Amino acid sequence: MAALSESRQGKRRRVLHRFVPGLGRANVAREVLAGVTLIALSVPLNIGYAQIAGLPPTAGLYALVLPSVVFALTASSRQLVVAPDAAAAALVSSSLVGLAVAGSTDYATMAAAQAILSGVVLIVAGRLKLGFLADFLSHPILVGFVGGLALEVMVSQVAKMLGIAVDSGADFWTKTAELLAGLPSAHPASVLLSVAALIVLLSGRWWAPGVPWALLVMVAATAASVLLRFQDAGVAVLGEVPSGPPRLAFPSLAPGQWIALVPSALALSAVVLAEGLLVGRSYAEKHGYPHQPDRDLAAAGLANLAAGVSGSFNVGSSTSRTAAMDAAGSRTQLPSVVLAAGSLLLLLFGTRLLEAVPAPVIGAIVAAAVFRLLGISELVSLWGQSRTEYGVAAACMLGVLVLGPIRGLLVAFVLALVNLARQASAPPLEVLADPDSAEESVLAVSADGRETVPGVVVFRVVAPIFFANANTVEKRILHVVGSALHPVRWVVLDLEGVSGIDVTAAARLRSALAGLAGSGIGVATARVRPELRAQLAHADLLTGAVEYPTNRAALAALRGSAGSAPPRADG
């Protein structure tokens, strides 16, 4: 019986380790405490994010229950936290505002359907092993896109903090104009309450970053609201929050409404894909545990399906909450399970405690959290590193504010592709110096483009040769030959850095080599990769060319050669 009991305990431990990797008896208390911290962080933020999305507070709380459990049980990442964030909430609001009235039943149904569509996209991406696509959403694009959404959020939250009414369905510029026009009528009590909350939140973040200041501020403000009757003084409060667990139901929409939600669902999926995989990979590398990006994509998709059928809205990776869990010492998904349990208890027994929460304080909590998403430090860094990359980020941010999030993201993608094409069309092209005249043991790069030795030019391409850069390669070869100090008799192509060549490039290079041959200039190759050699032979680019194993071998054979007959490669 003892052996059987030990076997059962071992099986339970294996099952627990399967679903919560890294969890051991010694660190359960630490993980549970981290979960309590996660509850303190998530409840006030999710209430604010639900309001940003144009949804009731319960939609934000529902997102903490079933989606958290589903992701915790299916993800490979041991630390990534999934939850609604400010960027996703702003995107939900901006994409649905023209389709339904914020706060209506149709609006909430569309938000749930949008989460389901996003979930399907992410699951398909995971099944097709498309995790590598995260690399195509560059850092400048994410900085600009999220920064633009954060600016939209900040305008609405500042209005809430000041007690100024703005049209939640209006665009960024209209809301900004309404905010500025309403400044003279700002509500004094709301302003004082917001300023006090911001002082505590910002100074607390600096003084004791591990303390859940958002929860403490919300509790203190709620207690003061009840005791001092803020509502009678004109301060807006959260109001009635229905109690009870999430109700499972599939959104009922017409086919045309589902189709209208596809573009925004794709945009939400793209942000979840890029940011989630990058954050998950960074923590896996930091702590040395395996990371399966495609599994995490599918897990995020399942979490969004869970959000959609439980009356919530899109969820994605939360960078700030993941960082907080890492700082708390969490190395498993158990805190997310604790978060789900705590949120469910709040929905069952504690929603009346939320009714008196002052709206300006919620605005201050969200504004303090969103401020870091503006990407000010990242934009300054991009300005110093690359003006082009800064331009992509700035254009994406402006595109989000002027054209809306989805069109802004498309504009940023186009700009990124243009920048990629610009870089690809100008590959590193080098003329190598005479190794016998260089101090280094390897060939040095000649800065002025002279020949390698009199009569011979060793020309190196450090990139694949394809249709976008073939013209540049051809012109550079002909320019170097034409501007050499001595008549060129041989051109040696160092091809070690060339991983491939396409049909268009092969035709251009064939034309260039034929022109050299017509001028009495021989062509040799050096350091050709085996896979490239097959491509060159198939494209008929090796006819008449002599191949050498190294550049030194080529120079030893060709130095001083003035004839057109190619020396033997082994000679």
How many Å apart are CA 280 and CA 71, to the nearest integer? 13
Phi-psi region of 235 (alpha: psi -120 to 50; beta: other; left: phi over 0): beta
Number of H-type helices and E-type strands within the chain:
22, 7
Is residue 47 within 8 Å of residue 362, measured between CB atoms?
yes
CA 308 from chain centre, in angstroms, equals 23
3-state secondary structure 439-491: CCCCCCECCCCCCCECCEEEEEECCCECCCCHHHHHHHHHHHHHHCCCCCCEE
Q: Are strands 456-461 and 522-526 parallel, antiparallel or unpaired?
A: unpaired
- Reported as type and span, the H/E element at residue 317 is strand 316-317
How many Å apart are CA 104 and CA 420, to the nearest integer? 44
| pLDDT given at position 441 | 37
Contacts of 528 (CB under 8 A, 6+ apart): 495, 496, 536, 547
Q: For the chain, give the longest Cα–Cα distance.
A: 101
Look at the domain 429-558 and name its fold: Transcription Regulator spoIIAA (3.30.750)
Q: What angle do CA 308, 312, 313 make, to 5 degrees?
A: 75
Helix, strand, coil abundance in the chain, percent, nearest 5: 65, 5, 30
How many Å apart are CA 352 and CA 383, to the nearest integer? 49
| pLDDT given at position 73 | 93
Q: Say if pTM beats, i.e. exceeds, 0.85.
A: no
Q: Which of 438, 343, 379, 334 is nearest to 28 (CA)?
A: 334
Pair of tokens at residue 124: 């398909």
Contacts of 461 (CB under 8 A, 6+ apart): 427, 428, 429, 473, 493, 494, 495, 497, 498
How many Å apart are CA 45 and CA 216, to the nearest integer? 13
CB atoms within 10 A of CB 29: 9
Q: Are strands 316-317 and 82-83 parallel, antiparallel or unpaired?
A: antiparallel
Is residue 419 within 8 Å of residue 396, measured between CB atoms?
no
Contacts of 404 (CB under 8 A, 6+ apart): 94, 95, 171
Contacts of 564 (CB under 8 A, 6+ apart): 520, 522
Domain ranges, ordered by start, for the chain = 29-239+249-418, 429-558
How many Å apart are CA 320 and CA 38, to the nearest integer? 11
In sequence order, the β-bridge partners of residue 459 are: 431, 493
How many Å apart are CA 159 and CA 103, to the nearest integer? 18
| pLDDT given at position 405 | 74
Q: Which of 496, 487, 473 is nearest to 522 (CA)?
A: 487
Q: Is 526 helix (H, G, I), strand (E, B) or coil?
A: strand
CA 401 from chain centre, in angstroms, equals 19
Backbone φ and ψ of 179, nearest 5°: -65, -45
Query: What is the distance in angstroms between the CA of the first residue and the CA of the last residue of the chain?
Result: 82
Q: What is the pLDDT of residues 16-39, one digit of tens each?
A: 554 455 555 557 888 888 888 899
How many Å apart are CA 44 and CA 222, to the nearest integer? 12
Instruction: Measure the CA dihedral 331/335/336/337, to 10°.
Output: 120
Q: Is 187 helix (H, G, I), strand (E, B) or coil?
A: coil
Phi-psi region of 114 (alpha: psi -120 to 50; beta: other; left: phi over 0): alpha
How many Å apart are CA 410 and CA 144, to the nearest integer? 12
Backbone φ and ψ of 244, nearest 5°: 115, 160
Tens-digit pLDDT string for the chain (571 aa): 445 454 555 555 554 554 455 555 557 888 888 888 899 888 888 998 998 899 999 999 999 999 999 999 999 888 889 999 888 888 898 889 888 887 788 999 999 999 999 999 999 988 888 877 666 667 788 788 778 878 888 888 899 899 998 887 678 898 899 999 999 999 999 999 999 999 998 898 788 877 778 888 888 998 998 898 888 888 888 888 889 999 999 999 999 999 999 999 998 898 888 777 767 777 787 778 887 888 999 999 999 999 999 999 999 888 778 877 887 788 889 999 999 999 999 999 988 888 888 989 888 888 887 787 788 888 999 999 888 888 888 888 888 888 877 777 777 778 777 777 777 777 777 788 777 665 443 444 444 557 788 888 888 888 888 888 888 888 888 888 888 888 889 999 988 888 888 888 888 888 888 888 888 888 899 998 888 888 888 888 877 778 898 888 888 888 765 444 445 454 4
Q: Is 316 helix (H, G, I), strand (E, B) or coil?
A: strand
Contacts of 272 (CB under 8 A, 6+ apart): 88, 118, 122, 300, 304, 314, 316, 317
| pLDDT given at position 313 | 95
Q: Is 145 helix (H, G, I), strand (E, B) or coil?
A: helix
| Residue type present at position 476 | R
Is residue 456 within 8 Å of residue 494, measured between CB atoms?
no
Pair of tokens at residue 248: 């499972």
- Reported as type and span, the H/E element at residue 249 is none
CB atoms within 10 A of CB 459: 20
Is residue 230 within 8 Å of residue 358, measured between CB atoms?
yes
How many Å apart are CA 215 and CA 207, to the nearest integer? 16
- What does the radius of gyration of the chain's CA atoms come to, in whole angstroms? 31
| pLDDT given at position 15 | 46
